[in-house]
Structure 1
Amino acid sequence: MSRSKKSGRFGIIDLGSNSVRLVVYAGAQRNPVPVFNEKVMCGLGRTLASTGRLDPKGMERALAAMRRFMALRDQIGIDELVVAATAAVRDAEDGAEFVRQAEDICGFPFMILSGKDEARYAAQGVLSGTPDAEGVVGDLGGGSLELVTVGGGKMGEGATLPLGPLRLMDLSKGNLTLAETIVEKELKDLDWLRRLEGRRFYAVGGVWRNLARIHMAQRKYPIHVLHHYSMPASEAAEISRVIEKLGPKTLSQIPDVSERRIDALPYGALILDKILAATRAKEVIVSAYGLREGVLFDRLDAEEKAKDPLIAGAHDLAGRLARFPEHGDEFFDWTAPLFAKDQLGENKEEARLRLAGCILADIGWYVHPDYRAHHAMTQIMLAPFSGIDHPGRIFLARVGYHRHEGRGEPDLLGDLTGMMNEKENNRALVLGLALRLAFTLCGATTGLLPRTRLSVSKNFVTLTLDRKDEALTGEVVEKRLNALARTLGRKGEIKIK
């Protein structure tokens, strides 16, 4: 498969059993940033189980969507576009004829993914967004379910099952009791699922994301970011069993249920419930990354693949919004004494978060001063980052807030202090105050900080400057140094050498 250029827009059309979707990314890079996303619910696989053929109306809608997507390719300026066709197209008797018509519209050949390919790309997509994933990936499409074990950054055993909600509705003739029997029969021979007890289940697919939204609403969860949203398996199973029993009329009255998912939701819930029972997983993690991101990741070169997705994403956002994106490395080195082993200390993951916080420190500079703190916090909280869980995201958002506001407490998204322990809240405050001091000291420019040094002793936090830079100290610098020192239970002092 050819490698895509890092620069230039990269697009993928996911020709699925239920929907046809075009996603355009800013480039084929480690942190894929979507710049356009459109989905058409076609239902290609709606009648596949009973007729062996694609749904006629679904084909008409899909071909119409492809014509529009080709026009958008020229309008948007997509440098490279691929089409990945999945279960319905590969399994249907008339799948090849449909592909021929669609390829005539597009003018290039499609990727017709086998079940094994689909599972591999789905797992690769999850690993690209969650490199430390340990457990089993489940990608639920309209016509199939892919299950793959992951761990240590690699994929293990896997299976493709004909258990997409559309296919299951067709096979069971709309009878959930019969559907339950079908699901149990398909899962019973997968002995390796039973070896995953106590691990995590990574859920991919629109139906399962919809279940997660309902769970979020029930908990009044303040962060409406689905990627890496976590549900205890017992709660995910409980809400699945409730959804299984609700009819279309009741489901349509739930605000967080997509109208397009109403028919499929009980079947998707049933499948999740049975998987959790089979695996005895401890936790369900929602992944916004799946097959499309797996295809994109596969096209990256080795250097790009090796990058940390969070750090790559932070650099990308800072490159768009910060005055001096290169400031991050200066800040990281300058704040290191505060987090040395004999001070606050930090492990590898905490150092990684500190680096991301330093890179993102200036993304709110252009906003009115009265709104910078909340703007920076919101930008970080809602940014399309991967490689980070929700507590980590909150940590970075609080750092961005304190960098502008000092010791105040954010109230924009409610009280978030309970979502991190006291230690992490304090670390975010210390880093935010240190960055606040750094920006004041250097006038938000590069080059000065490496000539200065922070150090921490038993009683003092000391800022040391060269004699030639003495004039850069002053009342505001002293005030912000003292605020940082008090947080560490010390006094601030300035030394000129």
Structure 2
Amino acid sequence: MLLKKDQGPVAVVDIGSNSVRLIVYEDADRAPSPLFNEKVLCGLGRTLASTGKLSPDGVKRALRALRRFRAVIDQIKVGHVEAIATAAAREAENGPEFIAQAERILRRKIRVLSGTEEAELAALGVISGIHAADGFVSDLGGGSLELIDLRSGRLGDAATLPLGGLRLIDASGGSLKKAREIVDAELGKVDWLEKGRGRDLYIVGGTWRALGRLHMTQMNYPLSVMHNYRIPADDALKFAALLDHQSQSSLAGIRDITSARRETIPYGALVLERLIKQMKPRAVVVSVLGIREGLLYTLLSQEEQQRDPLIAACEDLARQRSRSVDSAYELCFWTDTLFRAPGPTETLEQRRLRHAACLLSDISWRAHPDYRGVQSLNLVAHGDFVGVDHPGRAFLALTIYYRNEGLVKDELSQNLIELVDKDSVKRARVLGAAIRAAHMVSAAMPGVLTNTPVSYEGNRLVWTLPDPYSNLEGERVERRFKELATLLDREGEIRVGSAYQLAAG
């Protein structure tokens, strides 16, 4: 069943080997926003390796959580609910009995995923949130590890291995030395890992997100956004090797690790370490989106799937927070001319980021002028939109900061500047200056920028304001346009009046 945009809240209940989670999304679209998100660490698969059954305490906690989730779903008046279960429910002897109880509580059928389906949905989750993702997707849960080759948007070889954190603890009797032997033996059965050499390794799952958070803290990283956090493979290998020798007591003092995650962190680090050694990727990339988002992605129309997730998210923000999304799109096209020869040219990715910045350019207009720069910087730098890597996110944040604060105040943006190269900083300043000038004429209203184009003429940057827009020219417009022209190594000229009337159409 395909879902339609604007149909209202959509819920996914995910019954995993370690956690049971409910996410209610605001709507079914390319960049879904969580309306409600709750997770309960139940440990269903804690005793799976030793007994072949779900943990009795885990079953009790999971059923209690599902009763609450059903009540929340009813309270929000969710129109469509999807429910899935993974490795523990699939493999346990008492799995069918548990699923039957869970279905009575949720009042709907639960889809028990195969290992291959888990891997494929995790890969689709990565596709839905990381632009042009290409590499290996690895999803570590409490009961299993899924691996799948993702190349140019297509799903390839897949495997599911009994290497989930809780399962490893159970199977090894709590011995990291024995767990290492188990991991090496299982990974040795996957004869296509060498296909990942020199490519990205996308890691999915709560334990690996916690590991990524620890690395981010250690590096004093300037962003707090976990999604698309990239670690060079050598650094990730050293860090994982350090963590997989830690005891729970040694991790207890680390604020970034919850007590519930301390148990599985060393085992998750062990799996990552051994996987990196065998696969030899170029980098490890954290994906916050996984099976649940992959499932939602499968329910979208092909047209919706093909939308750019970053542009979709920025458009949604523009509709919610800016004065006119139509004006924001006009700004995209107005700035196209600035970034064509003889001006600075751009790649397709740079053009994509520029258009995203234009869509975000007016989202802080309601804030007090003294705080717009700070607010917009934080909103963009730490926003929950996807489809952009961290250097791209920093570029967007810098552009919107310069748009609001001007080009002379850099103190709040210094940490972000560390994430981008000099060319990106210059582009952010040029685009920020262009947006500042454009908004002085358009007042963020549609129908103006399409009729007041800019152009290059020799060493001049010319802005034409024909009638009936000629009276929009003024001192501040002239000053801001001069700043833009200077950044582009041009002389700025504003032409006004009926002599420069544009041809109709």
TM-score w.r.t. length of structure 1:
0.98
Q: Is the 8 A contact 1:20 1:42 kept in 2?
A: yes
Alignment check: 8 A CA contact 1:222 1:413 kept: no
The one-letter code of the counterpart of 1:5 is K
Partner of 1:33: 33
Root-mean-square deviation over aligned CA pairs: 1.1
Partner of 1:432: 432
Q: Distance in 1 between matches of 2:334 and 2:209?
A: 41
Deviations 1:44-69 (A, max 9, x none): 00001100110001111100000000
Q: What residue in structure 2 maps to residue 6 of structure 1?
A: 5
Query: Is 1:390 aligned to 2:390, yes or no?
Result: yes
* 8 Å Cα contact 1:9/1:78 also seen in 2: yes
- Could you give the per-residue CA deviations for residues 116-144 of structure 1, whole angstroms, max 9, x where no partner exists? 11111011111111241121000000000
Residue 333 of structure 1 and its aligned partner are, at CA, apart by 1.4
Q: State how far apart, in whole Å, the 1-side matches of 2:196 and 2:56 are.
A: 41
CA distance in structure 1 between the partners assigned to 2:355 and 2:450 by the alignment: 16
Question: Structure 1 residue 349 and structure 2 residue 336: aligned?
Answer: no
| Residue identity matched to 2:230 | S
Distance 1:54 1:127 in 2: 32
How far the C-alpha of 1:252 sits from its partner, in A, is 1.0
In the alignment, structure 1 residue 281 sits paired with structure 2 residue 281: yes
Task: Report which stretch shifted further, 370-379 or 37-46.
Answer: 370-379
Residue pair 1:455, 1:462 contacting (<8 A) in 2 also: yes
Question: Aligned residue for 1:96?
Answer: 96
| Structure 1 position 414, deviation (Å) | 4.3
Q: Can you list the C-alpha shifts for 1:334-364, whole angstroms capped at 9, x where unaligned? A: 1112100321001111111111111111101
Q: Deviations over 1:65-123 (max 9, x none)?
A: 00000110111121111111000001000000001111111111111101111111011
Aligned to 2:192: 192
Answer yes or no: is the 8 Å Cα contact 2:398–2:413 preserved in 1: no
* 1:59-98 alignment runs, 5 A limit: 59-98=59-98
1:416 is paired with a residue whose SS is helix
Cα 1:223–1:19 shift into 2, 3 Å: same
Q: Is the 8 A contact 1:222 1:414 kept in 2?
A: no
d(CA) in 2 for partners of 1:19 and 1:477?
Answer: 56
Tell whether the 8 Å contact from 1:132 to 1:151 is kept in structure 2 after alignment.
Answer: no
**Partner of 2:326 in structure 1?**
326
Report what 2:503 is aligned to.
Answer: none
Do 1:13 and 1:21's aligned partners in 2 also have CA atoms closer than 8 Å? yes
Measured at CA, do residues 367 and 464 of structure 1 come closer, stay the same or move farther in structure 2, by a change above 3 Å? same
**What residue number does 1:371 align with?**
371
Aligned match of 1:53: 53
Q: Distance in 2 between matches of 1:410 and 1:83?
A: 48
Partner of 1:454: 454
Cα drift, residue 489 of structure 1: 2.1
Shift of 1:307: 0.5
What runs of 5+ residues in structure 1 fail to find an aligned partner?
none
Matches within 5 A, 1:394-409: 394-409=394-409
Cα contact 1:146–1:160 (8 A) shared by 2: yes
Secondary structure of 1:493's partner? Answer: strand
Pairing of 1:83-162 with structure 2 (within 5 A)? 83-162=83-162
- Structure 2 CA distance for aligned equivalents of residues 204 and 389 of structure 1: 16
3-state DSSP class of the match of 1:21?
strand
2:440 paired with 1:465: no
List per-residue Cα deviations over 1:364-404 (Å, max 9, x = no partner): 10000001111111111122222110000011111111111
3-state SS in 1 of match to 2:418: helix
Question: Against the structure 1 CA distance between its residues 410 and 73, is the aligned structure 2 distance closer, same or farther, given a 3 Å change threshold?
Answer: farther
1:217 equivalent to 2:217? Answer yes
- TM-superposed deviation, 1:491: 2.2
Question: Could you list the runs of 5+ residues in structure 2 that have no partner in the other structure?
Answer: 501-505
**2:202 and 2:285 in contact (8 A); partners too:** yes
Task: Supply the distance in 1 between the matched residues of 2:4 and 2:451 (Cα, whole angstroms).
Answer: 39
Please give the alpha-carbon distance, in whole angstroms, between the structure 2 residues aligned to 1:444 and 1:5: 30
For structure 1, which segment, 301-310 or 466-475, has the greater mean C-alpha deviation from structure 2 after superposition?
466-475
Q: Which amino acid aligns with 1:263?
A: E
**Against the structure 1 CA distance between its residues 419 and 321, is the aligned structure 2 distance closer, same or farther, given a 3 Å change threshold?**
same
Q: Relative to structure 2, which stretch is displaced further, 428-437 or 463-472?
A: 463-472
Per-residue Cα deviation, 1:272-294 (whole angstroms, up to 9, x for no partner): 00000010111000001110000
Please state whether the residue corresponding to 1:150 is helix, strand or coil.
strand
Q: How far does residue 145 in structure 1 lie from its aligned partner after superposition?
A: 0.3
Q: Name the structure 1 match of 2:298.
A: 298
Q: How far 1:195 moved relative to its partner?
A: 2.5
User: What CA distance in whole angstroms lies between the structure 2 residues aligned with 1:389 and 1:239?
Assistant: 22
The number of residues matched between the two structures is: 496
Larger deviation: 250-259 or 297-306? 250-259
Amino acid at match of 1:218: Q
Q: Partner of 2:387: helix, strand, or coil?
A: coil
Contact 1:461 1:492 in 2 (8 A): yes
CA positional deviation for 1:490:
2.2
1:218 deviates by 1.1
**1:26–1:35 Cα contact (<8 Å) kept:** yes
Aligned-partner residue type, residue 345 of structure 1: T
Task: Give 1:236 shift.
Answer: 0.8
- Deviation at 1:18? 0.4
Tell me the equivalent position of 1:235: 235
Deviation at 1:408, TM superposition (A): 2.8
**Partners in 1 of 2:131 and 2:336 — Cα distance?**
26
| Displacement of 1:411 | 3.4
User: TM-score normalised to the size of structure 2?
Assistant: 0.96
CA–CA distance in 1 between the matches of 2:187 and 2:340? Answer: 50
Please identify runs of 4+ aligned residues in structure 1 that moved more than 3 A: 409-414
Using the TM superposition, name which of 160-169 and 469-478 deviates more.
Answer: 469-478
Structure 2 residue matching 1:369: 3-state secondary structure:
coil
Q: Which amino acid aligns with 1:221?
A: Y
Aligned 8 A contact 1:374 1:410 in 2:
no
Which digits, 9 at most, give the CA deviation of each residue in 1:445-482, with x for residues without a partner? 11111111111234222111113322110111111111
Amino acid at match of 1:116: T
* Residue matched to 1:177: 177
* Matched residue, 2:265: 265
In the alignment, residue 3 of structure 2 is paired with which amino acid?
Answer: S
Q: Quote the Cα distance in structure 1 between the aligned partners of 2:67 and 2:160.
A: 30
Percent of aligned positions with the same letter in both sequences?
Answer: 45
- Tell me the secondary structure at the aligned position of residue 462 of structure 2: strand
Structure 1 letter corresponding to 2:4: K
Task: Verify: 1:359 aligned to 2:353, yes or no.
Answer: no
The aligned amino acid for 1:156 is: G
Matches of 2:454 and 2:394, distance apart in 1: 26
